[in-house]
Structures are given as structure tokens and as C-alpha cells.
Structure 1
Amino acid sequence: MSLFYHLGILVFNALLSAVALFNAKAKMLVEGRRETMRRLKELDLDGRTTWIHCASLGEFEQGRPVIERIKKKNPGQRVVLTFFSPSGYEVQKNYPLADLVLYLPADRPSNVKKFVMAIRPQEVIFVKYEFWYYFLKYLHEQKIKTYIISAIFRPQHAFFKWYGGWYRKMLHYFTKLYVQDEQSGQLLSAIGIDNYQVAGDTRFDRVFEIAQNAKEYPALEVFAQDSLVMIGGSSWPMGEKLIADYLRHNPDFKLLLAPHEIHEAHLQQIEALFSDFSCARFSELDKCDLKKLRIVIVNTMGMLSSMYRYGHVAYIGGGFGSGIHNTIEASTFGLPVVMGPNYKKYQEACDLIQLQAGFSVSDSAGFAEVMDRLLKDKLCLAKSSEAAVNYVNKMRGSTEVIVEQLFT
């Protein structure tokens, strides 16, 4: 199986180089990996170094609270942060708490040895679901403590199949696995992996911290004052249509809509969809009578996580596509979350639905039924809101557990 893996890596790299000729993202990855290997030659890291690897931006949000806690506990400690994806690296390449931010080199024995010998980590932390065979094997052989945090496992993963022996070998290379839930732990136990701990998801700590330092937007505060407000978070066209259908028959609430894509074509599409209502873009609110507005379209990046403070219920986009976006941000502010049907691979969404703090809908009728229940029944809204807050508070604390165990 190792041979097939090695060949697969070679084929992937060859295809990546070919695609990079006409694909900007692939080109960034190829050039970024090349730059990593060049920078290793001139690297000189003094003192204790921790290497943290994240696949992309979502995993970084899980690794970030750990980095912050490490630096708070040991300010002089070096942190090397790596990404597989350009979408993570390009956004966080100047992250101030990392002493070095790099692309992860291709998982080939020669690259692995050069990389690990150059950064000389005392411990390595992989975030959520990153399993690179040659990296894990070499770290294990060098007796470098290696961990995975916020990991989540499901029965359909290769580790738990009849053919999964080679994949299971990688799990044995970890010093300890910090998993999100009991099911993950039980799956590991069933295949003889007992060096795990159910520690939860570090994202809850990150999102809670963001909420505690949420920005204030005076214009939105005036807009939302004395009104029931729905937040549309990271919305896509299908969800936007559901919201528009509901608004036409329910005039007693307002909408703050933060679409996932804010390019001009999509903004114009949204404005056409909501043309029956008084509607304005956030960037134009200084020209509007905020009290008379029904809808604000947020056409500025970086506002959503703070914007939930002005709402009562949230619709989270992505559930009619490849998967829902962040539900925890809304739940932290006590907002019940409504989502499309594609949510089951997200544990927090499943938990929220079980607690009646989240609701899945598949069409306009289902959306209207849930919204009526939440927006027209104060007791129902209060119970769902309380359940959301209690859930987030219960799930917090993973970062503290991990850092205290790894760095005492």
C-alpha cells in the first residue's frame, strides 16, 4: 500500500504542475511549495519550536486558539504554521503569532526529512483531519511528539474498513489523539487505538472569544432597534429565495443579509430578488432612513461574526450545496439556526438540531413553518435561544485542556 501511496503522490504532483499552467490556485500551491523548500535552506530557529499544520482556513480557526494560548503561556516559544491549501496560506501568511508561515511540502521522504530537520520541532500538532503518511512515519521514527486536535472520525472513514490496515498504521504514529466526540473515541477503541481523549472542538473557544470582542455597528443597531431581525449568514441563492418568499407574507420582521459571495453580479441578483422591499447595501446606509429600511445587504467582508448580536434567529447558508457554513457563531449569541438539508457531516449542526436550537428545512413550506414557530412564539424562541447558549458554553474549554497537557 505504501508503494501505491507513493505513486499517488507523484501522480498528484505531476497533475498539479500541469494544471498550474492555467489554474491560479494550483499555481500558487506549486510555487508556494517551491518557496518553502527554498526558505528552509536559510532557516535558523532558536529555542523550543512547535509546528502546527492546518489544511486550510477552517482548520486554522481550530488551531488558532491553541496558538494563542501557547504564546500566552510561553511568549518566547517558536510556532511554525503550515497550510496545505492556498485559501488558508494566502489569508494567514502574515499571521502575527506565528514565527514562520509556510506551505506544507509534498509528502515525499526527501522533502519530509529536509523539512523536519530544518524546523526541529519539539512537538507537532495536526488539526482535525490531516494524515500524511511519510510525515507521520518520520516524526514517529525521530521520537517527536505528534498530536492531532479537534479530530472527528466516522464509520465510513477508511481507518475502520476491512481494507484499512495501512490507514490504521498512521493512527499509531500519533502520541495522542484529541477527538471531538464520544463516537470518535469509540471508533478508535474498536480498532485498538486507546491513546485518545475526548476534548471537544477548539472552534468553540475561538468563536466565543470573537463574540466577547464583537464589533459594534451603530447603523445596524438603529436599523434593528425595536424589531425582530433575521440574520442571513453566508447565504447562497437557494436560501435567499426561501427568505424572500417568507418576507412577502410576513411583514413584521427585518432582514440582515450577509451573502457568501459579494461580487457585483450576486449583489444585483439579490437586489432584484428583494425589489418589493425597502432595501439598501451596508456601504450606502449613510444615505438611508434606517428606521424605514426592511433589508440591509452586507456587502463588506468580516462583519458577520459580530453582526449576529443584532439578530433573533439566523439562517445559515450552504445547506443546499456542498455543506453548511459556520453555525457556532450565531449560536454563541443565542440565535436559533435554520439550515438546509446538507448538514449531517457537521457534528455541531447535528447537536443543535437534537437540542432544538437548530432546524433543518428542505423547501419554502418547511422554512415558513420553522420561522413562524420561532418568530411568532416568544416562548419557543426563548427556549431555542437558551439551548443554543447552553450548548456553546458546555462545549468550550478544549483549548485549555490541550495546551495544559502538552505544555506543562
Structure 2
Amino acid sequence: MSFIYNLGIHLTDTVLKTIAPFNDKIKSGVMGRKNTFSILKKHIKNEDKTLWFHCASLGEYEQGLPVFKKLREHYKTHKIVLSFFSPSGYDIRKNSPIVDVVVYIPIDTQNNAKTFLDIVHPELTIFVKYDIWPNVLNELKRRQLRAILISAAFRKNQSYFKFYGKQLREALFAFEHIFTQNEISKTLLESINYNKVSVSGDTRFDRVISQLEQDNKLDFIETFKGENLCIVAGSTWPEGEKLITNYINTHPLKQVKFIVAPHNIKDNQIKQFQKNLNVESVLYSEKTEDTLKTAQVFIINAIGILSKIYNYADIAYVGGALGHTGLHNTLEPAVFGVPIIIGGNHKAFPEAQQMIDLKGMFAVENQSDFNKILTQLIENSTLRKSSGSKNDQFIKNNKGAVIQILDHLRI
């Protein structure tokens, strides 16, 4: 099985390099991995004490951030390496203030694993949620280097729990401890005789709660919102934007304003969305005090401010689950105590189902569903406030994962 895995890794590397010229995202990853070792050698010396954090992408980074921050505070003299597989994570967090160097993780060949660890020699390694790299993890284990996995979530149909998943299964045993999000994951790990496991919950709850400790004031949002009800649609995709556009165009509501933050902020797609609206709109990049006051729709063609914008929402819509893309972060609006609307494709996101069961979140399948629930939330302030309060309490009830992880690390 080891031979098959390593053959597959080399083939994957070849395929990625072959198609890179035709795909900007893949090209970024391929070019970035070419520079990984030279970047590390520039920043890490043999005598340095180091920590290594690995995240698949931006979502996992945000998930691990509360733990990363505490470790940064504790290990003040250590150099911290942060690695990503996805360009979206690397591009947005390549200047993260809590680490010393950010790189792409190299393709998981045996030679790459040895070279990476020769340079980094981490005193502690933390992987977040998934993105298991067998050769790297086995090399960590061979060198008797500490590693933990946090906020892990496993499903029965994953390779770890199948007869053909030996390589991945063995890699899990490189972790001295695995902290899972739920009991199901713990039971699955115990079924393969991995017993150094704790149910700590999801560190994302600690992450979003920390948002309340920040200054979330945005003067331009206050100018736009005024005394009106405000609906914030975050991380939207075209299928969700179509529902929003149709609703706005067919429901003339003078006392309701909409903020839409598309996931994709390419100019042509933003302009098309704006063109489809029959009401006055303004782009973030073109805003003035006057246009903010008169526009009914504010389109955020920028990144990095959505979590603060949710602070001004009376109702939130979170994109991703209407089509085939994954549901985006619903905890960010939930922490501000607002009701949330999502699409129906949310099975891989247990927190969404939990909030639906609590009646703080509402799943829709089509325009009719969307119109019905949004109108109810706009017109019924009791329902709106009650639903939002349930989401707020849900977040508070699920915090505490970071404390358990730090306790294991004796910090």
C-alpha cells in the first residue's frame, strides 16, 4: 500500500505541473511549492527552536487561530512555520503576524518529507481538522517529534476506516493526541484502535467568540444602514445572488437595506450582479457618503471585512450550500445573534443542522422558500430576535475547545 500511495503522489505531482499553465490557482500552488525549501532555509537556522502549524486552507487557519495565538504568546522565542496546501489560504495569510514564515507544504513524497523536517525540525507540530500527509507524519513519528491534530472531524465513509486505507490509517498514529469535534469522530478512531483521543469540540467557536472582543465598528456601514433593517449576504455565489436579486427586484422595501459580499470579487461578475438589480446600488470600491445614504444595495468587492460587517446584520444569508460548493462560515454571523438563511446542501456541516434544529437557522431550496422565510424574518421582529438569540446561545454553549488543547500541552 505504501508503494501505491507513493506512486499516486508522484503521479499527482506530475499532473498538477502539467495542467498548471491552464489554471491560475493550480499554477500558484505549483510555483509556490518550488520555493518552499529556499524560503525555509532563508528564515530557519539549525539552532532555532521551532513550531509548525499546518492548515489545508484559509478555513482551517481561522479554525486553528485561537490555539496558534496562545502558542505564540507562550513560545515567544520560537520561530513558527505556517504551511498551507491551498493558494487561497497562502495568498490571504502569507503575512500573518503570529508566525515567522509562511510556505506551501511540499508534495508528500518521502524525500520532501525528510528535507522539510531537516530544515524545520519542529518541537511541536499542529495539524488542523484534516489534510493528512502520511509520509510527513510517518517521518515525524520516526524522529519522535511531537504532533497533535485539532478540531478533527471524521466520517464513516472515509478511507481511514476502509480496508484499503492502511497508509492513511497508520499516519494517524503519528499524532500523540487527536482532539475531535464530536463523539462520532472519537468512536470511529477507537474502531481502528486509536485511543489517545478527546472530544474537545470545534475551535471555531472560540475563534468567533474572540470576534466580540475586537472593535467591529465600521463607519461606512453605519452610514449605509442608518435606521433601516439590514440584511447581510456573505460569501455569495451566483445561485444565491440570483435569489437575492429576484427578491430585491420584486419586493420594494424602502426601510430594508442589503449588503452583499460575493465570494468571487472578479470585476465582470460583480458588474453583472450590479447590472441585474433594479434598485440603486454602490460598490465598496466606489462608495461615497452620499451614495451610501441613497443606495439600497451595498456590494462589497473587497475581502477581509465580512466578519465585522455581520455585526450590523439583522438577518444574514450565508452562501455556498445552494449549489455544489461547500457552505461558508455560518458561525461568523451566529456569534452576533442574528437569524441565518442557507441553502439545502449542508449535510457536511453539522453545526448548520444543529442551528436548524434549534430554529435559529433556516434552509431553503428555491426562490419560493427564500422569499417566504426572508419575508417572515423581515416582518416578524419577534421571530427575528428569537431566532438570533438561539444562535447566540448555541455559540456560547460550544466554546471551550482551546482550553482543553492547551491543557494537554500544559500551557
TM interval, shorter chain, is over 0.9
Change (3 A) 1:265 1:195: same
What is the DSSP-based 3-state SS (H/G/I as helix, E as strand, rest coil) of the residue aligned with 1:18? helix
Shift of 1:364: 1.3
Deviations 1:98-148 (A, max 9, x none): 122222122122221222122211121111112111111111122112111
Change (3 A) 1:45 1:406: farther
Residue equivalent to 2:38: 38
Take 1:279 and 1:130, find their aligned partners in 2: how far apart are those partners?
Answer: 41
Residue equivalent to 2:14: 14
Change (3 A) 1:78 1:45: farther
Deviations 1:158-199 (A, max 9, x none): 122343344322222221111111221122223322211111
Retained in 1: the 8 A contact 2:216–2:311?
Answer: no
Aligned residue identity for 1:117: D
TM-score (norm 2): 0.92
Unaligned runs of 5+ in 2: none
Residue equivalent to 2:162: 161
Retained in 2: the 8 A contact 1:202–1:396?
Answer: yes
Change (3 A) 1:290 1:135: closer
* Correspondence 1:7-406 to 2 at 5 A: 7-41=7-41, 43-247=44-248, 248-249=250-251, 251=253, 252-275=255-278, 277-286=279-288, 288=290, 290-321=292-323, 322-406=325-409
Shift of 1:332: 0.9
Deviations 1:232-266 (A, max 9, x none): 11112221221233332352522111122222222
Shift of 1:285: 3.7
Shift of 1:271: 2.0
Shift of 1:324: 1.6
Take 2:29 and 2:116, find their aligned partners in 1: how far apart are those partners?
Answer: 17
Change (3 A) 1:220 1:30: closer
Take 1:36 and 1:169, find their aligned partners in 2: how far apart are those partners?
Answer: 26
Deviations 1:41-87 (A, max 9, x none): 55405453211111121211122222211111232222111112222
Take 1:64 and 1:51, find their aligned partners in 2: how far apart are those partners?
Answer: 13
Take 2:290 and 2:316, find their aligned partners in 1: how far apart are those partners?
Answer: 24
**Most deviating of 14-23 and 121-130:** 14-23
Change (3 A) 1:300 1:14: closer
Shift of 1:330: 0.6
Take 2:365 and 2:50, find their aligned partners in 1: how far apart are those partners?
Answer: 48
Change (3 A) 1:4 1:383: same
Aligned residue identity for 1:124: T
Shift of 1:357: 1.3
Take 1:250 and 1:343, find their aligned partners in 2: how far apart are those partners?
Answer: 30
- Alignment RMSD: 2.1
What is the DSSP-based 3-state SS (H/G/I as helix, E as strand, rest coil) of the residue aligned with 2:362? strand
Shift of 1:388: 0.7
What is the DSSP-based 3-state SS (H/G/I as helix, E as strand, rest coil) of the residue aligned with 1:212? coil
Aligned residue identity for 2:82: L
Aligned residue identity for 2:307: S
**Most deviating of 15-24 and 348-357:** 15-24
Take 1:21 and 1:264, find their aligned partners in 2: how far apart are those partners?
Answer: 22
Aligned residue identity for 1:33: R
Retained in 1: the 8 A contact 2:134–2:167?
Answer: no
Retained in 1: the 8 A contact 2:51–2:78?
Answer: yes
Retained in 2: the 8 A contact 1:255–1:296?
Answer: yes
What is the DSSP-based 3-state SS (H/G/I as helix, E as strand, rest coil) of the residue aligned with 2:60? helix
Change (3 A) 1:285 1:113: closer
Aligned residue identity for 1:266: Q
Retained in 1: the 8 A contact 2:338–2:385?
Answer: no
Retained in 2: the 8 A contact 1:211–1:305?
Answer: no
Change (3 A) 1:299 1:85: closer
Moved over 6 A (4+): none
Take 1:37 and 1:283, find their aligned partners in 2: how far apart are those partners?
Answer: 38
Take 1:36 and 1:109, find their aligned partners in 2: how far apart are those partners?
Answer: 16
Shift of 1:225: 2.9
Take 1:29 and 1:240, find their aligned partners in 2: how far apart are those partners?
Answer: 29
Retained in 2: the 8 A contact 1:80–1:99?
Answer: yes
Shift of 1:349: 1.5
What is the DSSP-based 3-state SS (H/G/I as helix, E as strand, rest coil) of the residue aligned with 2:35? helix
Take 2:387 and 2:125, find their aligned partners in 1: how far apart are those partners?
Answer: 39
Change (3 A) 1:364 1:21: closer
Take 1:283 and 1:32, find their aligned partners in 2: how far apart are those partners?
Answer: 29
- Percent identity between the two aligned chains: 36
Change (3 A) 1:84 1:282: closer
